[in-house]
Amino acid sequence: MPCWAELVTSDPSAVAEFYRDLLGWRYDPADQVFRLRGAAVAGLVPSRGQPAGWVTYIACDDLAELTGLVADSGGEVLRPPEDLPGRGRYALLADASGAVFGAWQSGRFGGSQLGSEPGTVCFSELATPDVAAGTTFYGKVFGWTAQIGELAPGHPYHDWLIGDRVLGGMYELPAGVSAHWRTTVEVADLERVLRRCRDRYGQVEVDPIEVTVGRYARIRDPYGAGLGVIELIPELRALTS
């Protein structure tokens, strides 16, 4: 299951102010995490030459075995397993289409400590021009199946499933667009978040659209990282509150 989302950026201290004003997150530089009411909700680390962006981490039991599966399935091990003392082990990987993701083998830290409420990561999705390759790769590596549905009327979408449990999604991109993972955060008031984004020198890349579960938009922070934000329909909000 996706268990953690981490923002990689050139200036963590500066970008932390943007997310504090946008989502109420507080940056803890000692642990390199964003906190909401003291609980860890996302990571924030300095870039090592890579572009700014959000990285989805997927939980696993055996990181060494997983990296072997990735390589055998046409993916790439970008950063081999490494220990984070007292927390766990991680690796940075890419699927067969080049979409980068992380894998996490927990120690004392299992990932996000809050969920199912505004201000927390609520969804991770693979955006790819090759749905067939994504279905094959993640099926082999994690045992996921892809079930076709609709993002909105007339807009096909795939849900990632383990058994009958939805754990993420897959969105088809036009040919030639690079595959990547996307992170989405739940918000209580979408219009307010978009105003704050613009006021704080961010960009609204995708204006609000109606999807089956609410109203969704995409923003880009002042340092270049894109993020989805969604205000759930009242029926779903009532179920998770």
For residue 14, give its domain range: 2-106
Order of strands across the sheet with 39-46?
Answer: 26-28, 33-36, 39-46, 2-9, 53-59, 100-106, 88-94, 76-84
Return contacts of 233-239, CB within 8 angstroms, 24+ apart: none
Judge if pTM exceeds 0.85. Answer: yes
- Over 90: is that where the pLDDT of 140 sits? yes
User: Pick from 106, 136, 171: which residue ends a domain?
Assistant: 106
Number of domains in the chain: 2
pLDDT in tens, 90-104: 999 999 999 999 999
For 146, counting Cβ atoms within 10 Å of its Cβ (0-12 exposed, 13-18 middle, 19+ buried), the class is buried
- Over 60: is that where the pLDDT of 240 sits? no
Residue type, 241: S
Sign of CA dihedral 221, 19, 81, 162: negative
CATH of the domain at 206: 3.10.180.10
Do 233 and 143 sit in the same domain of this protein? yes
Do 102 and 125 sit in the same domain of this protein? no
Do 126 and 235 sit in the same domain of this protein? yes
Phi and psi based region of residue 132 (left: phi greater than 0; alpha: psi -120 to 50; beta: remaining):
alpha
Q: Mean pLDDT across the chain, nearest whole number?
A: 95
Q: Tell me the C-alpha distance between 125 and 152, whole Å.
A: 16
What pLDDT is stored for residue 172 in this prediction? Answer: 95
Would you say residue 116 lies in a domain?
no
Do 133 and 232 sit in the same domain of this protein? yes
Do 183 and 212 sit in the same domain of this protein? yes
pLDDT in tens, 151-172: 877 778 999 999 999 999 999 9
Mean pLDDT of 45-49: 88
